[in-house]
Amino acid sequence: MQDNETSQELTTEERIFQDAYDTTLAFLETRYTLTNMNIADFEGELHHLTIYEGQDWAGRGELKNSEIQAQIYAYIAFIENLKKQQQEGPNKD
C-alpha cells in the first residue's frame, strides 16, 4: 500500500498552492460578506493580481509562483460563484 500512501502525499509546492487557495477563498468570502464590494471590484483586483503575476522578471521561484497562481484561481472561482448566484436570484450585487 505504499504506492497509495505516496500518491496522497503532497509536494511542498502543492501544499503551498492548496493553502493559498483555501486562505484566499475564505478571505474573499469574508470581505464580500462584510463590505459593499461587488463583482466588478473583485474583477479589478484579479486584473491587478494577473499583472503582478506577469512581473516575474527577477525570478520569484516556484513556491511563490504557486502561491500567486492559487490566489488567481481562488479569485476566478469566487467571481464565477458570485455570477452564478446573481443569475439564480437576488443578492448583494
The per-residue pLDDT string of the chain (93 residues; one tens digit each, 9 = 90 and over) reads: 444 454 578 899 999 999 999 999 999 999 999 999 999 999 999 999 999 888 776 777 888 899 999 999 999 999 999 999 999 876 554
pLDDT tens string 29-49:
999 999 999 999 999 999 999
- The label of the residue with cell 439564480 reads 88
Segments making up each domain of the chain, as ranges: 10-88
pTM: 0.81
Under a CB-based contact definition with an 8 Å cutoff, are residues 39 and 83 in contact? yes
Long-range contacts of 66-69 (CB under 8 A, 24+ apart): 66/13, 66/14, 66/16, 66/17, 66/20, 67/16, 67/17, 67/20, 68/20, 69/17
